[in-house]
Amino acid sequence: MQICVVALGKIGLPLAVQFADKGHRVIGADVNATVVDLVNNGVEPFPGEAELDVKLKAAVDAGLLTATTDTAAAVAESDAVVVVVPLFVDAEGVPDFGWMDDATKAIAAGLRPGTLVSYETTLPVGTTRNRWAPMLEQGSGLTAGKDFHLVFSPERVLTGRVFADLRRYPKLVGGIDEASARHGVDFYEQVLDFDERTDLDRPNGVWDLGSAEASELAKLAETTYRDVNIGLANQFARFADQTGIDILKVIDACNSQPYSHIHRPGIAVGGHCIPIYPRMYLWNDPAATVVRAAREANAAMPQYAVDLLAAAYGDLDGVNVLVLGAAYRGGVKEMAFSGVFGTVEALRARGAVPFVSDPMYTAEEISAHGLTPHQGETVTAAILQADHAEYRELAATDLPEVSVLVDGRRTTDPARWEGVRRVVIGG
């Protein structure tokens, strides 16, 4: 097949490489000319994705992957189009479809009869049928479900391990009609490989969920579940702090029974997915009080971590505090909706002077996000915000003036912090 992947970001580019790795001819379309040039030279535009550098170079060298800024032209040459353009959502969960509308109009301009269009960007329920189908029809003069096929198939991968996740998790597909679904299933069966999963009640592979709406809801539901679960764990942890209970011992005990799957509490829920998609779900279903309460509980955790620091340290006015970790999670160079922002804001509200360090970021990169990088200033308190592996080796001797450490991820080794008051969330 000839495949067009629209948007060569942290999900789109690995997908394009995956398709090329299966022997298909892939054209990646992106509005960023710098990204296009790097891809055409076989150079990954962003670091940290396992195997991407090697696989990308191999695909480009083999002539199976090229990139362009001309989306319409790339679509016109393709049998299938996979769309992974970002969708932005504001603090209230209201989507901003601007970039996706522009991409969809460009796709429509190049759309040919018989082409499959698959949206992988997480969407509110009903968007594929009610927004993209009419827009594609208007721009192309073709009829969805008759002249071209349209499906929603959510990405279910984490940055840093995209290729492994593509193999591990079933690929969900939902079409606007049966013919679209059949074409979607056939497409993904040709471009993906799957690990054997004995824990599933059906073979791992491409699963047709019956409609685009069901597939859209599946992605929102699985991410919202995680946010609600973490919110519950955080509520348990806050109660455990009041009663002197170690919540992790309790959670491990609960999860020894097969019907309990309580997640781990922590200082923040960040990234492009878990903090955002529950709000997108609430946009569809504003009466979902459980979802709303969990989102509010998780959003409050950076403030709670600072409250723990103040309770252990005392008045924070004028105190230099080091926030360890700018990334939203360990091992990933990404600050989207990271807990660092809420933590710094809460520290400043108490009069503290917050500094930020992260082994994955330079001082200049930290400054570019409106944060103050730590460059040797004396600090007397610290909050661990991201669970980078490097922090497992961190010791009191590395921060000799620190008297209180709030470890928001239970990452540090208590034995390395003798003489320092080490506080964890939930006991």
Distance, CA of 338 to CA of 270 (rounded, Å): 5
Q: Would you give per-residue pLDDT tens digits along the chain (427 residues)?
A: 999 999 999 999 999 999 999 999 999 999 999 999 999 999 999 988 999 999 999 999 999 999 999 999 999 999 999 999 999 887 777 899 999 999 999 999 999 999 999 999 999 999 999 999 999 999 999 999 999 999 999 999 988 899 999 999 999 999 999 999 999 999 999 999 999 999 999 999 999 999 999 999 999 999 999 999 999 999 999 999 999 999 999 999 999 999 999 999 999 999 888 999 999 999 999 999 999 999 999 999 999 999 999 999 999 999 999 999 999 999 989 999 999 999 999 999 999 999 999 999 999 999 999 999 999 999 999 999 999 999 999 999 999 999 999 999 999 999 999 999 999 999 9
217 domain residue, yes or no: no
The pLDDT, as a whole number, for residue 228 is 98
57 domain residue, yes or no: yes
Distance, CA of 20 to CA of 216 (rounded, Å): 26
400 with 306, same domain?
Answer: yes
The pLDDT, as a whole number, for residue 11 is 95
133 domain residue, yes or no: yes
Question: Please, what sign has the CA dihedral across residues 5, 9, 12, 15?
Answer: positive
User: Of 210, 240, 268, which one is at a domain's C-terminal end?
Assistant: 210
The pLDDT, as a whole number, for residue 49 is 93
CATH label of the domain that carries residue 402: 3.40.50.720
153 domain residue, yes or no: yes
41 with 185, same domain?
Answer: yes
273 with 418, same domain?
Answer: yes
User: Of 187, 210, 233, which one is at a domain's C-terminal end?
Assistant: 210
Q: State both tokens at 305.
A: 């971590």
The pLDDT, as a whole number, for residue 354 is 98
242 with 135, same domain?
Answer: no
Domain that holds residue 373: 223-427
Contacts by 133-140, CB closer than 8 A, 24 or more apart: 133/176, 135/101, 135/104, 135/105, 135/108, 136/104, 136/107, 136/108, 136/111, 137/108, 138/108, 139/104, 139/105, 139/107, 139/108, 139/109, 139/111, 140/108, 140/109, 140/111
143 with 65, same domain?
Answer: yes
The pLDDT, as a whole number, for residue 94 is 87
345 with 322, same domain?
Answer: yes
119 with 192, same domain?
Answer: yes
Q: State both tokens at 332.
A: 């990933």
95 with 123, same domain?
Answer: yes
Does the pTM surpass 0.75? The reply is yes
278 with 408, same domain?
Answer: yes
DSSP state of 392: G
134 domain residue, yes or no: yes
135, containing H or E segment: helix 133-140
138 with 231, same domain?
Answer: no
User: Of 184, 210, 236, which one is at a domain's C-terminal end?
Assistant: 210
Q: State both tokens at 5.
A: 């992947």
227 with 206, same domain?
Answer: no
39 domain residue, yes or no: yes
Number of structural domains (the chain) is 2
Q: State both tokens at 172.
A: 């969900």
218 domain residue, yes or no: no
The pLDDT, as a whole number, for residue 92 is 74
216 domain residue, yes or no: no
Contact (CB, 8 A) for 32 and 38? no
203 with 295, same domain?
Answer: no
